[in-house]
Structure 1
Amino acid sequence: MVQRETNRVILPTACLWVLIVALLAASVAEAAAPVQSRRYALVYAWDTERQRILEYRQQVAASLGLKTDSQLKIVGREQDYGLVWNINASMAQAKKQAEQQNARLRRAGLKPAQVVASTGFSELYHVRVRQAARADTLQGEYARLKNVLGSRVGDKLAIEKTDSRQWALVYRGWESKKEAQKSARNIASVLPRTSKAPVLVAAIDRPAVMTAADAALAEPPNKSAAADRNDRGRPQARQESGGGLNTKIAPLLQAELRKAKIQPQVRAGWAAYDLTTDNYLVSINLNRPFQAASMIKPFVALAFFHQVDKGKMSYTAQHRQMMEAMIQHSSNPATNWFIRQLGGPARCEALLKKEYGRLVGQIRIREYIPASGRTYLNSVQPCGYIQFLRALWRYQLPNSREMLRVMGLPGPDRLVYGADLPNNTEIYNKTGTTALLCGDMGILVLRDKEGRKVPYAVVGIVERSSQPANYKQWMRASGGVIRDFSSLVYEEMKRKHNLL
């Protein structure tokens, strides 16, 4: 009896201990599971200004060799924008990756990467309104929506090139998924009932495409590399007056400036050069210096490629990324990065005047571009732009092919988009914009009725002496006058060369 009672007591106690151990093990495993499954990302910067993050991304991408479209993403966190590479790794793996990158980031003068949980930020979205095989078919919808939705929403609309065969009308909201869904519903409410519903797409900073055709690298002239190097004498473009076209265009442009209400605190420079017949079509204020704004950047590229040509610098994958950032995306940090490599603004200017003096004229490079973008000290004459473009098209400059490629990448322009030009116009250009200046300079290429390429260069500059009361209105109006000028030049080229 006693033994049986003892057994009844011992058996439940042993079972209880087994049960307790099992429960504790399960509890520990359950607590450890979220830690083990938690994933981490690398963050490079946070800022309330998205543009600063976009510019900083170019520097990080160039330093680390990462892709901006698939690896370095712009994300959101409350009121901040962040630059993140979501490697979706464990804590140990993320820390190891950060350590490997930070040495390179420090050498480039950039902040070290930090490890953060992948849940510590949110993906950002745009709203794709419509897709098409041609950009010009989207322009009517673009204008209508901008008018209906008002400036708050309309100013974020853009026509973008999404791939080699597709264009898209996109609301670039940089919003969380919830906010983007709300914006999509708002846009859908004003679309025709037959239209497809807008869809959310990952927020990518594609440049707004300002031409209806994919700019492709033009066929180079039949010129050897040796001749290229030996043609540094560069006979100047013929300084013809522009003849009757000057007389015809000057009053029309003055009337357009008055109509746009951007008189009287304005001066303008206009130039057009026929690269086939090698003479000026228009030359108004040709030798007068104007603020260069971002149009100084191709000259910085020229100074850099000169040093590469002399074997004093190398053109690496990092340099290529920074070159595209400087020209295609007009990145000021990338521009300053090149100027520093050249020894500063004064040395950059001195090199250009020494090696390309007849070409660049009275160019002035007196400052790095400030963080605010308010660059007013650098200047170039309209004739300097024409001489540069003429030599570039004739492959008389070091690495002309690469400069043409970069200037031909999709980006903003004031010479083709919105102007009365054919949709298949090729363009190689660089715009310039500050609170005091609106400009563009570039090479336009069309074809005659026999299919031959007909290139010409156009420069349009409108400059103020003081900041306008309504900056956006002034900039739109000035850009419109430049487009009108480009349209007039095209009509003259069409008449002269039997263009399509």
Structure 2
Amino acid sequence: MRLRIRLILVPIALFMNFVALGQEAERVSIALKDVSEGLVGYIGVAAQDMNTGKQVFLNGDEPFPMASTYKIAIAVTLLNKVESGELKLTDMIEVQDEEWVLSDIIASNFIHQGVSLSLANIMEVMITHSDNTATNVALRLAGGPDAVNKHVEQLGIKGMHIDRTTSDYSRDFYGQEPGRENMAEAIKNLSANPGLANDPQPEFEADAKDKSTPRAMLNLLTFIYEGKGMNKENTAFLLGVMSRTVTGAKRLRGLLPANTPVAHKTGTLGGISNDVGFITLPDGHSFAIVVFTRGSDTPLADRDRAIAEVSRTLYDYFLLMPD
């Protein structure tokens, strides 16, 4: 009951106060900072009601490491190539030996040469399981980081740039060479140091590469939702894939009412825990949400809780203040 009071009665009183004071967005930002205090190092938030256009920001123009949330930009660029006829979702794509890095689906389950997947399945596991080998393949097909950046710029989005493949991440963060022949060693090294993936690396986070502001990621999400640059079928395809994400169950989804539809993409690396996507309210309309964090030396469960608290606070806000 105490948890229910915190998550429902307190926000109702809080938001009624927002109305009286007429400073909704600013006070919601303060609430977001309060609910995440002590759980993460530094947090950035951007959100938008997809019906009204109402927005909320907390450190919205600060650059944050995207980690695996950058895979959304890759997916959008690939679907642009599908739109132009350069690629088809049914195209069979061979995974090249040098593209193998530690990943939950491909590298963990297919140990032999001769792996080919359709473009649709490459994108599926890249998003739903955050498969890094699939991401290497997808980025190659997209034309590399420069091609993704060019497409993002053509959409008019500023404040986001992609610089590395997941092979580069493997070298820069884990000190591990990519390639199918190196997977046994990579698995052994990670098993010997299980905390490596979630231990902060301040120098890595300070690197200017692969950064986005929450506002820039929010702009990308709104382009997806509104179907700009993609037809209805491809928009539905990407949103459908994002709705099947299995990572980060305790982040955006963590404190929402049961069976709330969420379409999202997580990112986790060192002191970075992120989650971005769309949440559907009971009346059927959605809001886009971006939660970026960095510099966290707290337990992963605390970081997840921070994202969940932000998500629930914004859920209540957009539900109770629809106009």
TM-score (norm 2): 0.67
Per-residue CA deviation, residues 154-207 of structure 1 (Å, 9 max, x unaligned), is xxxxxxxxxxxxxxxxxxxxxxxxxxxxxxxxxxxxxxxxxxxxxxxxxxxxxx
1:463 is aligned to 2:294: yes
1:361 is aligned to 2:158: yes
Count of equivalent residues? 237
Cα separation, partners in 2 of 1:345 and 1:245, compared to 1, 3 Å: same
Cα separation, partners in 2 of 1:304 and 1:246, compared to 1, 3 Å: same
Identity %: 24
CA contact (8 A) 1:332 1:373 kept: no
Cα distance in 2, alignment partners of residues 384 and 339 from structure 1: 20
CA contact (8 A) 1:253 1:481 kept: no
1:404 equivalent among 229, 239, 243 = 239
By relative contact order (CA 8 Å, sep 6+), the higher-ranking structure is: 2
Structure 1 residue identity aligned to 2:221: L
In our comparison, the structure showing a higher alpha carbon Rg is 1
Aligned residues: CA RMSD: 2.3
Cα separation, partners in 2 of 1:372 and 1:446, compared to 1, 3 Å: farther
Indicate the SS of the match to 2:253. Answer: coil
Per-residue CA deviation, residues 294-318 of structure 1 (Å, 9 max, x unaligned), is 0000100111111121122222251
TM-score (norm 1): 0.44
Greater strand percent: which structure?
A: 1
Residue 343 of structure 1: aligned partner:
143
Indicate the SS of the match to 1:316. Answer: coil
Residue 12 of structure 2: aligned partner:
none
Q: How far is the alpha carbon of 1:379 from its aligned partner?
A: 1.5
Residue 26 of structure 1: aligned partner:
none
Indicate the SS of the match to 1:457. Answer: strand
Q: How far is the alpha carbon of 1:481 from its aligned partner?
A: 1.2
Residue 425 of structure 1: aligned partner:
260
1:390 is aligned to 2:222: yes
Map residues 22-101 of structure 1 onto 2, 5 A cutoff.
none
Residue 142 of structure 1: aligned partner:
none
Cα distance in 2, alignment partners of residues 397 and 475 from structure 1: 36
Indicate the SS of the match to 1:462. Answer: strand
1:293 is aligned to 2:293: no
Residue 27 of structure 2: aligned partner:
248
Structure 1 residue identity aligned to 2:308: R
Indicate the SS of the match to 1:442. Answer: strand
1:378 equivalent among 207, 210, 222 = 210
Residue 134 of structure 2: aligned partner:
334
Structure 2 residue identity aligned to 1:270: V
Runs of 4+ in structure 1 displaced over 6 angstroms? Answer: none
CA contact (8 A) 2:145 2:165 kept: yes
Structure 2 residue identity aligned to 1:422: P
Cα distance in 1, alignment partners of residues 125 and 257 from structure 2: 28
CA contact (8 A) 1:416 1:425 kept: no
Cα separation, partners in 2 of 1:297 and 1:478, compared to 1, 3 Å: same
CA contact (8 A) 2:273 2:304 kept: yes
Per-residue CA deviation, residues 231-284 of structure 1 (Å, 9 max, x unaligned), is xxxxxxxxxxxx733433344444444443x4xxx322111211111221x112
CA contact (8 A) 1:272 1:456 kept: yes
Cα distance in 2, alignment partners of residues 372 and 430 from structure 1: 23
Per-residue CA deviation, residues 59-95 of structure 1 (Å, 9 max, x unaligned), is xxxxxxxxxxxxxxxxxxxxxxxxxxxxxxxxxxxxx
Q: How far is the alpha carbon of 1:401 from its aligned partner?
A: 1.4
Cα distance in 2, alignment partners of residues 325 and 480 from structure 1: 25
Residue 275 of structure 1: aligned partner:
50
Residue 125 of structure 2: aligned partner:
325
Residue 492 of structure 1: aligned partner:
317
Q: How far is the alpha carbon of 1:372 from its aligned partner?
A: 6.5
CA contact (8 A) 2:281 2:315 kept: no
Structure 2 residue identity aligned to 1:312: E
Cα separation, partners in 2 of 1:432 and 1:410, compared to 1, 3 Å: closer
Q: How far is the alpha carbon of 1:439 from its aligned partner?
A: 0.9
